[in-house]
Chains A and B, each alone.
Chain A
Amino acid sequence: MSETEDSTIMIRAGGLTKAFGALVAVDGVDFEVRKGEAFGLLGPNGAGKSTIMRMIASVSRRSGGTLSILGMDPDERGPDIRGHLGVVPQQDNLDTELRVRDNLIVYGRYFGLPMKFLRPKAEELLEFAQLTEKAAVKVDSLSGGMKRRLTIARALVNEPDILLLDEPTTGLDPQARHILWDRLFRLKEAGVTLVITTHYMDEAEQLCDRLVVMDKGRIMAAGTPAALIQQYSSREVVELRFGSERNAEVALQLAGTGERIETLPDRILIYTQTGEEDLARIVDGGLRPLTSLVRRSSLEDVFLRLTGRSLVE
């Protein structure tokens, strides 16, 4: 790899492993995050996403493998690396004893930033988070969406090179999610590298340039959302419902339609390149589904194929 290419790699993990006693939370993963891209970590609960996030955030020591963030080893230069990161944790941990503006200023002081820099910076970030009018109120009186935006604004106070977002929109209503996505797009446009964990597939499709799908501590697949859909799913999906007693029986008759058929208790999924034609053929063949739907294949189909449909408790 040439030197210029090398300098655009922000994070590089090789055989990265983290064990808590006998539990292996992250089991030898390899990935790279390049400058300016939005990189997604997808996976069900317990897949190891948050553990990877904590290792990148340099607050958790790896058990094995290599990890380099901005060319530095977090084991040796944790505080230096953290100075270049912005962290948005899964649960807001705003300082509830401080007012909204003071949350930004005091957090900036932890990085050793001078007041001369922080005063205008706080105003700029309040503007960005649409919280200018709330600057002097206590954090407790903010709504969930506002708190989330303030947490993101706080993570930007040190003008980080990499912003780590651990399930940024969990628990937000659709309006608040869309505002947040808009803010994240702006950051991406401004050249900030984003690392995002999520289990919302629409969020991953919206935000991520590239992502990895994880399960049980391992990477199951990696690529752009479009490439993953192409590789692991079909172009379209036909969803048919015949009633829960008949689905399994009908599925046998449908064998050979499309590329792959999946029978679920409530419906049959046919993965295919030609959804409308397949549906017409099925109806012509005399089968009468209660409801039918042809849709484009999504990242959710890829996700469920790779990580299974059973519940992770």
Chain B
Amino acid sequence: MREGRPVAAGLRSVYAGRSHTVVLRAMYALKTSAWFVVVSGFFEPVFFLLSFGLGLGGLIGAIQGPKGLAVSYAAFIAPALLATSAMNGAIYDSTWNVFFKMRFARLYEAMIATSLGPLDIALGEIAYALLRGLVYALAFMSVMFAFGLVLSPWGLLAIPAALLIAFGFASCGMAITSYMKTFQQMDWINFFMLPMFMFSATFYPITVYPEAIQLLVKIFPLWHGIELIRGLTLGQFDSSILWHALYFAVMVAVGLVATTRRLTALFMK
């Protein structure tokens, strides 16, 4: 970026206000894609909920919620699964899908030759990931309602919260993917995601860890996402919930700026 250029002109050179056409492109692509892949994103958290929540939950009984009130084990892990599925969906779309389009399909190269800018592409791809995430979140929430796992009317806010989580992961995921050149490097993402899923107080309260480990868990984003949604669906939260939301707002901002810069660097050399 050149110095002394007005901000508006700088934005105009990377953004044409047409990211909706990138979303539209994804809709057209659905026509030729395998539907079971799209649908499978819904079933994964449901299977976890059934096996762990209802199966294992029967053995465990009640568990302490964030504010110390006892809740059923299924109600405890359901919001964590919602947060995790928001994360997984966003990461899958913004890493593997984007990696393929970037390195093999050369889709962005074609897009950038039109009057679209890199920010249009970043926003469009992320918006589509969110749209898909929204469908999954709504479906999973209906399952939670059906099993009586949403204990508070605040729980409705879990849907926008899931979208915020997905937005944060998608924008950072896309930025990170832009640095990846090989499939081996892409595997590092999985290497990072699985432990985050296992250890972010997903299946038990964070208090089981010693202080130092707790701190480590709190550095990573998923814990914030789980706390955010768990607080809402259980109706047990305080003002600290805003910090969890803020964590993702920062991820969104940092990810978008980084993605736009990287797309510019990659395709507008």
Please list the residues of chain A having a beta carbon within 8 angstroms of any beta carbon in chain B.
20, 54, 57, 59-61, 76, 78-80, 82-83, 85, 87, 89, 91, 93-99, 102, 105-107, 109-112, 138, 158
Contact = CB atoms under 8 A, between A and B. Distances in A.
B268 interface: yes
> Which 6 A-B pairs rank lowest in CB-CB distance, beginning with the nearest?
A110-B114, A97-B29, A93-B106, A83-B115, A87-B113, A109-B21
A88 to B, nearest CB: 9
B25 interface: yes
Contacts of B18: 109-110, 112
B167 to A, nearest CB: 23
Contact of B32 (A78, A110, A138): A138
Contacts of A61: 268
Nearest to A109: B21
14 contacts: A61-B268, A76-B9, A79-B12, A82-B113, A87-B113, A93-B106, A93-B107, A95-B110, A98-B32, A99-B31, A110-B25, A110-B111, A112-B21, A158-B114
Nearest to B28: A102
B114 A95 contact: no
Contacts of A93: 105-107, 109-110
Contacts of A59: 112-113, 267-268
| Interface size class of chain B, counting residues whose CB lies under 8 Å from the partner chain | 20 to 34
B151 to A, nearest CB: 42
B115 A110 contact: yes
A82 B105 contact: no
B114 A107 contact: yes
B21 A106 contact: yes
Interface of B: 9, 12-13, 16, 18, 21-22, 24-25, 28-29, 31-33, 105-107, 109-117, 267-269
A89 B111 CA distance: 12
A22 B150 CA distance: 62
Contacts of B31: 98-99, 102
A20 B115 contact: no
A187 to B, nearest CB: 18
Contacts of A60: 268-269
B7 to A, nearest CB: 14
A214 B100 CA distance: 35
Contacts of A158: 114
A184 B29 CA distance: 30
B114 A96 contact: no
A97 B112 contact: no
Contacts of A99: 31-32
Contact of B117 (A20, A76, A79, A87): A79
Contacts of A97: 29, 32-33, 105
A109 B28 CA distance: 12
Contacts of A98: 25, 28-29, 31-32
A60 B266 CA distance: 10
B115 A111 contact: yes
A82 B114 contact: yes
Contacts of B25: 95, 98, 106, 109-110
B113 A89 contact: yes
Given A59-B113, A93-B105, A94-B110, 16 more contacts: A60-B269, A61-B268, A78-B117, A79-B116, A79-B117, A82-B113, A89-B109, A93-B109, A95-B29, A98-B28, A99-B31, A102-B31, A110-B21, A111-B114, A111-B115, A112-B115
A95 B105 contact: yes
A252 B79 CA distance: 90
B16 A79 contact: yes
Contacts of A79: 12-13, 16, 115-117
A178 to B, nearest CB: 26
A262 to B, nearest CB: 39
A95 B22 CA distance: 12
Given A79-B12, A109-B24, A20 B109 contact: no
Nearest to A59: B268
Residue among B29, B115, B117 with the most chain A CB within 10 A?
B115
